[in-house]
Amino acid sequence: MMKIPFSVLPPKQLYRYSRYFRGIAQRFERKLPVMQINLNQAESTIGAIDYISMAFAASSLMFFVFLLLLMPGLKMGAGLGGILILSVVLTVFVFFQQLSYPKLVASRRVRLIEQNLLPALQDMHVELNAGVPLFNILVNISNGHYGEVSKEIGKAVKEINSGSDQVNALEDLAVRNPSLLFRRALWQIVNGMKTGADIGGLIGDVISSMADEQITQIQKYGGQLSPLALFYMLIAVIAPSLGTTFIIVLSSFIDLGEDTVKVIFYGILVVTIFLQIVFMGMIKARRPTLMSYD
C-alpha cells in the first residue's frame, strides 16, 4: 500500500479511518480522471477513490496538528480566527501535495528507467545482431545491472515464464510503464514481432533517436544553468545580504528591540536555507533523464 505523505498514521490505520471520507472522495474522483493512471504508473495497489479518501483522512488529522502547533500564537497576540484560517490554508496545501504524490512517484520512476535505458538497448542491439533469441536477451537484461530497466524487463520475463505470449507480455508492460521512451522501444519490438520485420534494425533506429534526444537534453540543460545561477545569486546571496544590511541600518534609527531583531535575522536564515533547498531541487529536476548519475 502506498504511503501517504504528511500522514500521522500508518497506512493500514489510515485506510480504516478513510472509509468515513469515501463519499466525498467518490465525487472528487470524477474531477481527477488521471489519478488512477498515475497510481498505476506509480505501481500502487490501491484505487483512485481509496487514495483520495486516504488523502482526505490524512489532511483532516493534519488540520488538528497545525492547529496545535499554532496555538502558542495566542499568547503572542495572534487572533483565533487568523490561526484557524492559517491552519485551513496549510491543510489545503498539504491535501493537494498528497494528490500530486502519485504523479511525483511516477516521474521518479521515469527518471530511474530512462537513465539506464540507452545502455540496455545498446546491449539488446548487439545481442540481436549476434543472433541471440529475443527471450534470452530479455532474460540477460533482467539479470543485468540496468536498475529499473532490469526490474521492468524482469516483470515481462516472469509473465512469459508463467505461460503468457511474448507479444502480450511486452504490450502489457508498455501500457503500465510511465516512461514514453521505454514504451516507444517496446512498441518497436512488438511491431517488429507482429510484422516479422528486423527487430535489430528497429532497435538501432530507436537508439539513434534516443542519442539525438540525449544531446538535445544536454544542450537544453546547459542553457538553463545560466538563468538558474543568476536566480541563485539573487535569492541566496544578494537578497539576504541586502536584507541584513537594511535591518541593521533600520535598527539604528528605530528601536526595534533585541528580540525583534533576532527573530528577523533567524527568519532570514531560515528562508535562505529553504530557498537553497528549493534551488537544489530545481537543478536536480532539470537534469537530463537519459544520463546515468551513478
The reply to whether 132 falls in a domain is yes
Tell whether 121 and 85 lie within a shared domain.
Answer: no
C-alpha cell at position 106: 511516477
Tell whether 162 and 184 lie within a shared domain.
Answer: yes
Question: Residue 1 has what pLDDT?
Answer: 62
Domain boundary among 210, 239, 256: 210
Tell whether 86 and 158 lie within a shared domain.
Answer: no
Please state the domain count of the chain: 3
State the Cα–Cα distance between residues 163 and 155, nearest whole angstrom.
13
The reply to whether 291 falls in a domain is no
The reply to whether 4 falls in a domain is no
Burial of 253 (0-12, 13-18, 19+ CB in 10 A): exposed
Mean pLDDT, the chain, rounded, equals 85
Domain boundary among 210, 243, 261: 210
* 0.85 surpassed by pTM: no
Domain boundary among 106, 141, 165: 106
Reported as a single tens digit per residue, the pLDDT across 4-32 is 888 888 888 998 998 899 989 998 888 88
Helix residue ranges, H only, 130-287: 134-142, 148-161, 166-176, 180-195, 199-232, 239-253, 258-285
State the Cα–Cα distance between residues 51 and 43, nearest whole angstrom.
13
With 70 as the cut, is the pLDDT of residue 277 above it? yes
Tell whether 127 and 179 lie within a shared domain.
Answer: yes
Reported as a single tens digit per residue, the pLDDT across 217-262 is 788 878 878 888 888 888 878 888 888 888 888 877 777 677 777 7
The reply to whether 2 falls in a domain is no
Question: Residue 138 has what pLDDT?
Answer: 92
What domain range is 150 assigned to?
A: 117-210
